[in-house]
Amino acid sequence: MSDGSQAETSALVKSARSGDKKVAREAYTVLVNRYQEGVYAYILGRCRDPEKAQEVVQDAFITAYTTLDKLEKAESYRSWVIGIALNLLRRRKKEIANPDLLEGATDSREAGLAGLANQETLEAVRAAVDDLPENYRTALQMHYFDKQRGRAIGAELGVSEGAVHMILLRARKALAEKLKAFAPESD
């Protein structure tokens, strides 16, 4: 499903904020239908647990609906919901003492030190991406996972297409800097 334009998203958010409950509910249903698949894919990529991802996404849309008046830029609705979902996911991870502790131990596809090294690298990449500024994370997600181009990413972030290229460049550099420890040393 298409993400629609910024103007459409803004209009839907405005309608969802309206005092008319029926209009608000209908508009918010359209927003959920428009963005839930992308938000789910993003969160699933973070937690690798379809059931947990579904719960987090559902809670994120409920939270977004109940706090819609706090959204400053209506055209940034998608990024805002992803941020809510990420916060909910982080909160759940803290509530459950290290839920990924045994994940590598039960994976029989990789064994020994190589599997451990791959798991460690994967976790380092996830942590490094989580540590990036929100606009960098969103741009990388949209570019690499949603297969979006500069114009669509710019519309989401509220910047020009040229600025998107700079954001992606800076995001890649920041990510590379955070992951230097995992790069092979060259003598």
DSSP string, the chain: -----HHHHHHHHHHHTSS-HHHHHHHHHHHHHHHHHHHHHHHHHHH--HHHHHHHHHHHHHHHHHTGGG-S-GGGHHHHHHHHHHHHHHHHHHHSS-TTTTTGGG-TTS-HHHHHHHHHHHHHHHHHHHTS-HHHHHHHIIIIIS---HHHHHHHHTS-HHHHHHHHHHHHHHHHHHTGGGSPP--
Question: Residue 43 belongs to a domain with what CATH number?
Answer: 1.10.1740.10
Cα-based distances in Å from 138 to 38, 117, 129, 144, 184: 12, 27, 10, 10, 28
Of the residues 46, 78, 99, the one at which a domain ends: 99
Q: Which residue has the tokens 């949209």?
A: 142
- 21 and 111 together in one domain: no
31: number of CA atoms within 13 Å, CB side?
Answer: 33
- 73 and 123 together in one domain: no
- 89 and 151 together in one domain: no
- Is residue 169 scored above 60 in pLDDT? yes
- 12 and 89 together in one domain: yes
- 69 and 15 together in one domain: yes
- Our count of domains for the chain comes to 2
Segments forming the whole domain that contains residue 164: 101-187
Of the residues 51, 73, 99, the one at which a domain ends: 99
Of the residues 68, 99, 130, the one at which a domain ends: 99
What was the pLDDT predicted at 12?
Answer: 92
Query: What pLDDT band is residue 122 in, cutting at 50, 70 and 90?
Result: low
Distance CA(61)–CA(64), nearest Å, equals 5
- 29 and 75 together in one domain: yes
pLDDT in tens, 8-64: 988 999 999 887 888 888 998 999 999 999 899 888 888 888 888 889 999 999 888
- 146 and 175 together in one domain: yes
The gap from C-alpha 61 to its chain's centroid, in whole angstroms, comes to 13
Question: Residue 166 belongs to a domain with what CATH number?
Answer: 1.10.10.10
pLDDT in tens, 73-119: 888 898 899 989 988 888 877 665 444 444 444 444 444 455 555 66
- 109 and 63 together in one domain: no
Two tokens at 153?
């990413």
